Amino acid sequence: MVSVSQIRMYCRTVGISGFVRAMNAKVTKSTGYCSVKRPGYEHPFRLRVPSSDVDTYEQIFINQKYDFVLEKQPKVIVDAGANIGLASIYFANKCPEAKIIAIEPEISNFELLTENVRPYPQVIPIQAALWNKSEELLLTDPGLGKWGFMTEHRTEIASQSRVALHPVMAVTINDLLDRYALKSIDILKVDIEGSEREVFADSASWIDRVDSIIIGLHEQLKVGSNRSFYCGSRGFQREWQQGENVHLSRGCLAPPRWW
């Protein structure tokens, strides 16, 4: 059963044709695709319909989830939890001089991410999970849709009764700094479904090399995420909440003008 609010959301995001394609896919229990061409964006990109891709698209491009003021042009952006690449595309158009490292652990998301960012040579896709150690993890599905996969140790999966999907290698911030010879990261965007607890539990060696952070916290998925983040991210001059995201900045980012 499709609600009126869902019909309205699909029509204002992907149009009537996208809604029809989504309903056909739902009836046939298949994956439908919808190509989107945003005004002001040279290259189109694809969404799966029906799926949480459409919600992500609405958040980023219509509700302006990552609308911020740049006080200087960033040179390096890390998009951790890049999903199908929509935030990376937004950043690539907003910050055309930046190298963008897009990290996504789940295979189907990563395949569409790679396709969507192909027209942007400054975006580097990496299939991995951001973590505090370079080790193999398991990707799990807590039932939140294509934007809600989690990475965990095998022992955690057994205790949480979650469905394991496939193994994935973890990558750390220090790995990224070394691999790409980065002096610093101007913007670190983090939306990793609770893994912020592990990432910021061991941040002392790299946190001073990050200028600004945009993070979605997931205490409801992994207890201790909030405390770990705030304990591991001290020293930023500015902090503000924008929608579901917490922003910290030493100077690169400022709140939007309407804030």
64-254 carries CATH number 2.60.40.420? no
Which of 56, 182, 41 minimizes the C-alpha distance to 117?
A: 41
The beta strands (E) that lie in the chain are given as: 32-36, 45-49, 69-70, 76-80, 99-103, 123-126, 129-130, 136-141, 150-152, 163-171, 185-190, 210-216, 238-242, 245-249, 253-254
Query: What pLDDT score was predicted for residue 12?
Result: 84
Which of 40, 31, 26, 42 minimizes the C-alpha distance to 84?
A: 31
User: What residue spans in the chain does CATH classification 3.40.50.150 cover?
Assistant: 64-254
Query: What pLDDT score was predicted for residue 224?
Result: 96
Which of 242, 212, 243 minimizes the C-alpha distance to 98?
A: 212
Query: What pLDDT score was predicted for residue 155?
Result: 62
What pTM, to 2 d.p., does this model score?
A: 0.91
How many whole angstroms separate alpha carbon 231 and alpha carbon 77?
22
pLDDT tens over the chain, length 259 residues:
567 787 788 888 888 887 778 788 778 887 889 999 999 999 999 999 988 899 999 999 999 999 989 999 999 999 999 999 999 999 999 999 999 999 999 999 999 999 999 999 999 999 999 999 999 998 887 665 555 577 777 666 555 556 666 789 999 999 999 999 999 999 999 999 889 999 999 999 999 999 999 999 999 888 999 999 999 999 999 999 999 999 999 999 998 776 6
Query: What pLDDT score was predicted for residue 8?
Result: 83
Residue 198, H or E segment: helix 196-199
Query: What pLDDT score was predicted for residue 21?
Result: 81
Residue 15, H or E segment: helix 15-28
Is 8 within 8 Å of 14 (Cβ atoms)?
Answer: no
Tokens describing residue 42: 């040279």
